A and B are shown apart, each in its own frame.
Chain A
C-alpha cells in the first residue's frame, strides 16, 4: 500500500476533473435536445408532410370509356375487365432486381420495362403491361414479396366485338405518348391515360374519355395497401351512336374481300356515312394497349399498309369518273350543248402526240349522253382542250375535290386539283395545254380520295346539295342519361342548274343501262353511276406484243365505280375503289350494285367478288 495521503490527493485531483466530464456530457445532451427541437418543433410540419407522403398513394381510377354503337344501336366498342400491370415508382426498392425478375413472370421485354420506368415525366404508377393473362396475374401475386412496387390492378380494357370490321372508322386506343403529353392539346391529361389514338376514338375522344377519379390509400413500406382514405369516383364517358349502318359496313368489307380498296356509302341528303370500308384492315383489339413495340413496328412496315384508311387517305387519279365534273363544266360554261355531236375515231392528235381512246375503233358520232355512257375519251379530250385547265379546276373544287371533306376522322388527305396557278407555284413551270387533255379523263396530276368521290355522287344525286359527311349521329350523356341528336350539318347549294344535273343523271343512268357498267344493273332498283380506271403508271411496261397479255398485278389499274340510287329518289351514294383490278365496270360496279340492293332492302344471291 502506498502513501495514503498521496492517494487521497490524487483521488481529489481525479474527482475535481469530474466536472469536465459532467460539463462535456451535459453539453452533448443539450445539443441533442436542440436537434430534437429542430426536427420536431421547428421542422415538425415538414416532416409530418413527408410522413404523410410516405404512407399515402394516390391512385388514378380510370373511368369507363364511352361505348360506341352504330346507327341502329348495335355495339361496336365496349369495355371488358382485365388485369393491368403497374409499377408504383415510390415503392420500388431495387430497380435492377425488378427489371431482372419481371420477365420471369410476365411475357415482357426487359428493355421495354426499363424505358417505361425511366421516362422522367412520370410520377406515381406506371403501366407496364396492359391486359395480362390470368396466369401471369396469379404468378405475380404469388411472388409479391419479391416484387415490391409491382401492382396488379383490375381495369377496363377497350374491346371491339366485331374485330376487324370498321377498324379504320373506330380506330383504336392506346396510352398517351410522350410527345402527346408535351402537346398543348393534351395538356389536361396525365401520363398513363388511355386515349383514342385513331378513328372516331381519336376525334371524339373528349366525349368518350370521361373523367378520372382518384383514390388515396394508405400503404406500408412495401407498398401494400392498408386502407382507403378517400375516393372520388370516376365519371364514365358519353356513349356515341355513329351514322354507320354496321350491316352495310360488314357487307362492304366482305365485298372487298382480300383486295385492297375502299368503299364509301353516304346518305346524300344529310351526309350520314353509312359505310366507310378500307381494306386491308386490322384488328383494333390487337393494337389497343396490348401491342408491343416490336409488333407495332411490324405493323407499320407492312407493305399493304393495313393502318391506312384508304377511304379518306388513299389519293388516286379519278379516271373516267372525272367525266361527271367535265360534263358539268361543259354545260355550265356553255362550251358545248348536251346535244352537240362530236365525231370519235379513236384518236385525238395533239401537237406531236396522239391521245388514244380506250376503244380502239372509236365511238362514232357522240353526244354528251353517249360520251358518258360509253366513257368516250376523245369527246372529253376535245372538250377539255376547248375549256382549258382553269375552268375545269374551278368546277372540280365546287364539287369538293382538292379539299378535305371534313369528315370527323384524323389524317384525311385532300387530293389534288391542278391549275395554272398551282403549276407555277409548286412546279415553277407553266401549264402545258397537253396536260389538260390528260386531266379531261381524270389522269395526270389530278388525285381524289374515295370519300370525295362519294361526295360527288351525293351532289349529283341531290342536284347540287353539298353536305359534309358526318359520322356522329347522337350521343347519350352519361351524367344525365339523355340522348342528344347531333344536329345535321349545314347544306350548301351549288350554283349549277338543274338542267345540267338532269343531263348528267341521264348519262349516268345510261352508263348502267347500256354503257360501261351494265354489270351494275339491278332488277330491283334503278342505279346511276360512272366507271373509272385510274392509271397506276403513266407508261405501262408495254410494247405492242404484250398488249393482250395481262400486266403484273402491281402495274394494273385501279377500278372505280361511283353511283347513286334510286335515280328518281336517291337514298344512297356510293364510291367503290378496288386497287389493281383494272376496269371499274367489271371489278367495282357489281360491288356497288350488291351494296345498293342490300341497303334498299333487296337480298342478293350474288356471291361477292373474290
Chain B
C-alpha cells in the first residue's frame, strides 16, 4: 500500500509540513497587513488592531501545537463531551451573551469575548469523525437521522443568535462529511426529497428568525445598484473596491475605498476587498492559489489518512475553511448575499483565528499519525 511506502519521520518536519505551515503563515500575514492598512492611521486609542490580530495568531499557534500534539483518536473520544460543553456555552450565550448589532454571539471573558459558535466547530469535526469511524453505520437511520439529531441543536442554537453564516457553515460541514461517508442511493434520495419538502417550512423559519438587517442584505443582493445609499451599500462598495483594484492593484495604503472608509467592515468580513483593491487581480490570484494549495494539502492528508476518523476529520477541517473562503469571497465580490462570514485566517477575530488554527493543527495531527499504529 502506498501508506507503507511513505517514509516519514514522526518527530521532525518534512517538506510537506513546512509547505503547510508556510502557506498558513503567508495567509495570516497577508491578513494582518490588510488589517494594518485599513486601520492606518489608527483612529482609536489603545492597542492597534493589527497587533491584536498578531497576538491572536500567537495564541492560535499555541492551540495549533496542542492540536498537533495530542493523538486525534483521544480527542475524538472526548468529542461528545466537548460538543456537550459547546451546546451549554451556546445556551449561555443566548441567555447572557453580549449583544452586538442585534446578535448575541459573545461571552465576555475578562478583557476578551469568546464566540462559542466558532469554538463548537472543533467538537463538531471530531464528533462526526468519531461517529462514522467507530462502527460501520448501516441504514439511513444510523447514517443520517441519528447524527442529524445530534448536529441539529447546535445548528439551531447558532441560528437563533442569529448567526446565519456560522449556522450555514455548521450545516456545510455536516453535509460534506455525509457525502464523503456515502449514502445508499435510496437513503440519499430520501434525504433530497425530505429536504425539498421541508424547504418551504425551513425557509419560513430561517427567514423569520433573521434580523431585519440580514433580510435586507439578502434582499439587496438581488440588485444593489438600485439603492446605492441603502441596503445594498456594503455589497456595492465592496465590489467597487475589488473591481477598482484592476489588474495590479492600487498598492499598500493606496486603496481609496478603504482609506476613505467607503468600504465598511474592512478589517473583518470585507478584508478580502481591502486586499483585492490594494493588490489587484494578480494579488487576488496569488491569495486564491494559497488557499487552493492549503485545501489540496488538506485533501491529500485526508486521502492518505490511515483510518476513517482521520479522513473524515481532515475532510471536515478542509470543508470548514473552504466554506468560509468560498462564501466570503462570493459575498464580497457580489456572487452571494452579505451573510456575515469572515474570511478564514484573514479577517480580524480572535475566536475564529484560534479555532481555524486548532483545526489546521488537527489536520497536521492526522498527517503525522498516519504511520503510527493504533
Q: Which A residues are closer than 8 A to B by beta carbons?
A: 2, 6-7, 10-11, 13-15, 17-18, 20-22, 25-26, 28-29, 31-33, 35-37, 39-41, 43-48, 50-52, 54-55, 92-93, 218-222, 226
Contacts and interface: CB of A to CB of B under 8 A. Distances in A.
B257 interface: yes
Given A15-B303, A17-B180, A51 B244 contact: yes
Contact of A39 (B176, B181, B243, B288): B243
Interface in B270-303: 276, 280-281, 284-285, 288, 291-292, 295-296, 299, 302-303
24 contacts: A7-B136, A10-B136, A11-B308, A13-B182, A17-B180, A18-B303, A25-B295, A25-B322, A28-B326, A29-B292, A31-B335, A32-B329, A39-B242, A40-B246, A40-B276, A40-B280, A44-B244, A47-B240, A50-B244, A51-B241, A52-B256, A54-B257, A54-B260, A55-B262
A22 B123 CA distance: 24
A41 B305 CA distance: 41
A32 B180 contact: no
B127 to A, nearest CB: 17
Contacts of B305: 15
A111 to B, nearest CB: 22
Contacts of B276: 36, 40
B333 A39 contact: yes
Contacts of A44: 243-247, 281
Contacts of B124: none
A51 B182 contact: no
A41 B256 contact: no
Contacts of A221: 260-262
Interface stretch (B81-89, B158-166, B311-319): B311-319
Q: Interface residues of B: mostly helix, strand, loop or mixed?
A: helix
Nearest to A43: B243
Contacts of A52: 256
Given A21-B179, A47-B239, 16 more contacts: A2-B136, A11-B307, A15-B305, A17-B179, A20-B179, A29-B288, A29-B291, A29-B325, A35-B333, A35-B334, A36-B285, A40-B246, A43-B243, A55-B262, A221-B260, A222-B261
Nearest to A35: B333
Nearest to A15: B303
Interface of B: 135-136, 176, 179-182, 229, 237, 239-247, 256-257, 259-262, 276, 280-281, 284-285, 288, 291-292, 295-296, 299, 302-303, 305, 307-308, 311-312, 315, 318-319, 322, 325-326, 329-330, 333-335
A21 B240 contact: no
B82 to A, nearest CB: 23
A48 B245 CA distance: 7
Nearest to A6: B136
B292 A26 contact: yes
Q: Find the residue from A10, A17, A40 having the highest chain B CB count within 10 A.
A: A40
Contact of A51 (B229, B247, B257, B261): B257
A46 to B, nearest CB: 7
A120 to B, nearest CB: 16
A580 B141 CA distance: 107
B71 to A, nearest CB: 17
A48 B246 CA distance: 8
A48 B247 CA distance: 11
Contacts of A92: 229
A219 B288 contact: no
Nearest to A3: B136
Nearest to B247: A41
Contacts of B262: 51, 54-55, 220-221
Contacts of A220: 259-262
B260 A47 contact: no
Nearest to B239: A39
Contacts of B242: 36, 39-40, 47
A10 to B, nearest CB: 6
Contacts of B302: 15, 18
A36 B333 contact: yes
B232 to A, nearest CB: 13
Nearest to A226: B260
A7 to B, nearest CB: 7
Contacts of A47: 239-240, 242-244, 246
A219 B260 contact: yes
Contact of A33 (B182, B243, B288, B308): B288
A32 B257 contact: no
Contacts of A6: 136
A218 B176 contact: no
A10 B244 CA distance: 50
A413 to B, nearest CB: 50
A45 to B, nearest CB: 7
Contacts of A54: 237, 240, 256-257, 260, 262
B241 A14 contact: no
A218 B244 contact: no
Contacts of B180: 14, 17-18, 21
Contacts of B241: 51
A123 B214 CA distance: 31
Nearest to A219: B260
Given A2-B135, A10-B136, A221-B261, A32 B281 contact: no
Nearest to A1: B374
Given A6-B136, A54-B256, A35 B246 contact: no
Contacts of A2: 135-136
Which of A6, A31, A37, A54 gathers most chain B CB within 10 Å?
A54
A576 to B, nearest CB: 61
A92 to B, nearest CB: 7
A11 B132 CA distance: 11
Contacts of B322: 25, 28
A310 B329 CA distance: 73
B288 A40 contact: no
B335 A35 contact: yes
B165 to A, nearest CB: 16
A33 B261 CA distance: 26
A461 to B, nearest CB: 68
A25 B284 CA distance: 17
Contacts of A32: 288, 326, 329-330, 333, 335
A33 B299 CA distance: 20
A25 B237 CA distance: 27
A14 B303 CA distance: 9
Nearest to B325: A29
Contacts of A7: 136, 307-308
A21 B335 contact: no
B311 A15 contact: yes
B86 to A, nearest CB: 25
B246 A45 contact: yes
Nearest to B249: A40
B240 A50 contact: yes
Contacts of B179: 17, 20-21
A63 to B, nearest CB: 30
B244 A48 contact: yes
A260 to B, nearest CB: 53
Contacts of B288: 29, 32-33, 36
A52 B135 CA distance: 61
Given A22-B296, A29-B288, A14 B181 contact: yes
A93 to B, nearest CB: 7
B272 to A, nearest CB: 10
A43 B280 CA distance: 13
Contacts of B237: 54
A33 to B, nearest CB: 6
B330 to A, nearest CB: 6
A17 B307 contact: no
A17 B312 CA distance: 11
A25 B330 CA distance: 13
A33 B242 CA distance: 12
Across the A-B interface, the 8 shortest Cβ-Cβ residue pairs: A47-B243, A44-B246, A51-B244, A220-B260, A40-B281, A221-B261, A39-B243, A47-B244
Contact of B299 (A11, A18, A40, A43): A18
